[in-house]
Structures are given as structure tokens and as C-alpha cells.
Chain A
Amino acid sequence: MELVTDILAGKTRAVARAVSIVENNSHDKEALIDALHDYTGHAAVWGITGPPGAGKSTLADCLIQKERDAGKKVAVIAVDPSSPFTGGALLGDRLRMQTHAVDPGVFIRSMASRGHLGGISAGTLDAVKIFDAAGFDTIIVETIGVGQTEIEIIELSDIVMLVLVPGMGDEIQAMKAGIMEIGDVYVVNKSDKDGAQRLKAEIEYVLMLKEQTNGDPSPGILMTSSRDNTGIDELHIHLTQLYHERTRNGMLSVRRKKRIKKEMDDIFNRKVQDLIEKELSLSANSSTWIEKVYRKEIKLYSFINNTLAEFERSNKK
């Protein structure tokens, strides 16, 4: 594929097109991703999540600069929700990063969730692979995370930052149970505002409770102001060191294998479902079957087991 050669050469238009292919779930997606497979695994993937308005995009902007100063090529994937009613989306994250728009070492891509739950879009993971193969050293993935369902960012990233801001007292209570599990690094952004110190103390308290239950080493809590550009150096150093540490102690490969497992399960499930649909003409037949179950002509479990056994027999021949 010419597209693959161009991606590996880091050509912008090819990379952009490839992201659209995975985003649209086009039929050449699978061949594309397999062709890139051998060239992936080099990039560090940083997730940034947190409530809307916490300063995730502004923080990403600061971190891009730090990585550029360190000579790294950076890609950013910023995911925002699609409207469930119209399917439209207003993608405004890159507004905060536009100073990097013309830097050839930076590639920013906005993605709409397109109905996918979990905070990312169905194409995000494949988009990460494309940027990885195209030679980007660091890939920053920004997603909105406000509840317990948006946790796919953990599976996708090597390191996850949870960005919180002062003045969300009640929210932190709600987040305790779920989203507090997801951060490797906690960022108290807008530390220029009142209450930042208290928020930090609250997070420390929640994490202390968590530590007692699972014995993990305690994650870092960093204070930043992306407006005043304070604390960014510390955050950047922390991320870099954590990544190296995880590479060294094997945590990185553990995480990445978990990611592969999740992907594999998902793809198997989807394919098996497609296969069943095709072989048993599920949607065409289901109304007849439902009627029969309703009239007590057949029983659910025996019927389904028999149908699958029949399918298996016919496949063995």
C-alpha cells in the first residue's frame, strides 16, 4: 500500500487520511493497521482526562512545548462527544494548541466520539497506532472524564493524568469511587485559584484510603497553572521519569499486554457476533423465533443450544 509507505515516512496528508480511515471504520482499516503493526510500540502514550473546563487542552499545549524542547515529535488526539441527537460535534480543543499548528513536529487531530461510550471514539486506539508508526515519540490523548464509565483512557495509555481543579468540592466526592482509580498522576490545575491546596489535601486523603485497599505505591499529585505556566516543568519531569521507571520495572509491558487483551477480546466478540448474524440470519429470523418462544413452542436455552450445535455440525463437515 502506498499509503503505508507514506505513513511510515511521516507524510502529514497520509497520516491524516489514515486516521479518517480508522475513524470511519472503512473496509481497508484492517489491512492498514496490520501493515503498521511491526512499526508500533515506540511511542509513549499519555492520557489526559478530567471534567470539562479543567484545563486539559491548555495543559496539553504546555506539555507539547516541553516535549518539543526535548526534541520529541508529538501527536495529540483530542476526543469530544458527538451529539446523540444530530451526530454533529463541535471540536474546540485544538483552539488552545494552535500555536503549534504549523510546527511540522506536532500533529493535532480532533476526534468526535461518534456514539462510542467510554470517553474515547472507536477509532482512537487505531489512531494511536498510526501516529506511533509515523514516528511520533509522544502521543497525548485528551478525553473528557466525569464519571465511572469513561475509563477506556486507562487501557489506551501508558500513563494517565487526571486533571482536577479547585471549586469542585462535591464532584470529588462523586469521583472518589470510580474515576479516582484511574489516575497515575493527579494534576491540580488552576493552582492560581483559591482552594488548590485544599483540593490537593482532599485527593491525598482519598488516595490514602485507596492505598489501604490495594497496596499500590502512591501516585504523584502535582500542582500546575497552565495559565501562568507554573508547575509544568515539574509535571513534565514527573511524567518522563514515571515512563522510564515503568519501562525499567516491566509495568509498561504489563499495561500494554492488558491493552492487547482488551483489543483482542473486543475484536473476537465483534467478529463472532458478525459471524452469527451472517450464518444464522439473526435479524431476519429473530421475530419468528421470538413469536415461538412467546407461544411456548420452543424454550430459550434448548433452542439456542440446538441452533448453535447445528451450526457447529454443519461447519465440521
Chain B
Amino acid sequence: MSEKIRIEIAKPGLDGHDRGAKYIARALKDAGYEVIYTGIRQTPESIVATAIQEDVDFVGLSLLSGAHNELFPRVVELLKEQDAGDIIVFGGGVIPEEDLDFLKTHGIQAIFRPGTPISDVIAFIESTRKGHAA
């Protein structure tokens, strides 16, 4: 049997719009991944607890509300604290250009802004997945 890539798709923050998150969750399922969808209004704590229990390879964070500079790095930090720094975090949503560097230096390995084709996300997953000869 082969290993399957497992991906948590979560929405931190207070906004209740999960169309984008659901879209990406479905698209990644269609691409052959196992996607764990946790729904809206997740705290960084619940996102990280979920990632660890589900033994995911990736956490994808989706956010529209603008709190990404606090919430995204917090997820990375908590993963490291809980000895799960190997889980790869990426983000998506309405994120201004000027925040991209900040997020990258805080451990968010990729940011996908609205309009990004899903094939970019898949390419990112395939090139960073565990065991991939870089």
C-alpha cells in the first residue's frame, strides 16, 4: 500500500465565508489527496490539535478577514512548540502583496491569492511533500 498525502484545510478567524476554503478542499480531493475539512472559526490551537491528531502532511489556512499576520504565524509557532514543525503550512485568501514576505519569514511556505489556479497548489504540494527528491 502507498502512503497518502493528508491535508487539513482550516479557516481561522471570525469571518464566516467558507466558499474559498470549501472550493480548495474539494479541488484537492479531486486531485487525489485526503482532505480533512474543519470548517469556519477555528482557533490556531484547534487547527494545530487537528493537524497532529490527523497526522497531516500539510495545513492549508484560508482567511478573508485580514488577521493573517497574527493567525498564520501563530499556527506555525504552535506546531513547532508541539514537536510538529515538519508539518508544512500554506495559506490563501485576500492577502496584500506587502504581507507576503512577512508571512514567508514566519514559516508560511506558500501563499495562494485569489485567482491562483489549483494546479499551482498541487505543484507546490508535489514539490514539497515528504520524501520528494528536491
Question: Which A residues fall within an 8 A CB radius of B?
Answer: 12-13, 16-17, 19-20, 23-26, 82-83, 86-92, 94-95, 98, 101-102, 107-110, 112, 114
Contacts and interface: CB of A to CB of B under 8 A. Distances in A.
A23 B35 CA distance: 15
Contacts of B37: 90-92, 95
Interface stretch (B42-50, B58-66, B92-100): B42-50
10 contacts: A86-B32, A87-B4, A88-B31, A89-B34, A91-B36, A94-B54, A101-B50, A101-B53, A109-B53, A110-B34
Given A25-B1, A91-B36, A92-B37, A86 B31 contact: yes
Contacts of A94: 36, 38, 50, 54
Nearest to A104: B49
A296 B7 CA distance: 54
B31 A98 contact: no
Contact of B42 (A16, A20, A98): A98
A94 B52 CA distance: 14
A108 B3 contact: no
Interface residues of B, number: 31
B55 interface: yes
A300 B84 CA distance: 56
* 6 nearest A-B pairs in the assembled complex, by CB-CB distance: A25-B1, A88-B29, A101-B46, A16-B55, A95-B39, A90-B29
A13 B32 contact: no
B52 A16 contact: yes
Nearest to A18: B55
Given A98-B38, A101-B46, A112-B4, A16 B53 contact: yes
